[in-house]
């Protein structure tokens, strides 16, 4: 899972800075990056980040950003 989370972090930060946009869910009027064609069958680890986000929000709602969660999860998944 470490490689998948690191890849998500890279794709989130590489073009326009770390904003968590790769974690956006789609809606009726917007295609989110999670389901966008380039990510459809290649990006993985969204469920891990969603689980972490749910747990963080239960403890301290509105304090930690999705971009921060992704960065920390990616770091912790590849560092011994």
Q: CA–CA separation, 23 vs 56, rounded Å? A: 15
Our answer to whether residue 9 is catalytic in this structure is no
Residues 52 and 29: their CA atoms lie apart, in Å, by: 27
Beta-carbon count within 10 A of 23 CB: 20
Taking the model in full, what pTM does it have? 0.84
Q: What is the mean pLDDT of the chain?
A: 89
* Cβ atoms 74, 12 nearer than 8 A: no
Residue 20: its pLDDT value, please? 87
76 is in an annotated binding site: no
Catalytic residue among 4, 11, 32, 72: 11
Q: With 90 as the cut, is the pLDDT of residue 51 above it? A: yes
pLDDT bracket for residue 22 (50, 70, 90): confident
- Which pLDDT score is estimated for 40? 72
- Is 68 annotated among the ligand-binding residues? no
């Amino acid at each position: 899972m470490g490689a998948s989370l690191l890849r998500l972090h890279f794709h989130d930060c590489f073009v326009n800075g770390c904003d968590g946009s790769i974690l956006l869910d789609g809606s009726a009027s917007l295609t989110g990056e999670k389901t966008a064609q380039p990510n459809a069958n290649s990006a993985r680890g969204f469920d891990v980040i969603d689980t972490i986000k749910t747990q963080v929000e239960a403890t301290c709602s509105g304090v930690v950003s999705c971009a921060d969660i992704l960065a920390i999860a990616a770091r912790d998944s590849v560092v011994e």
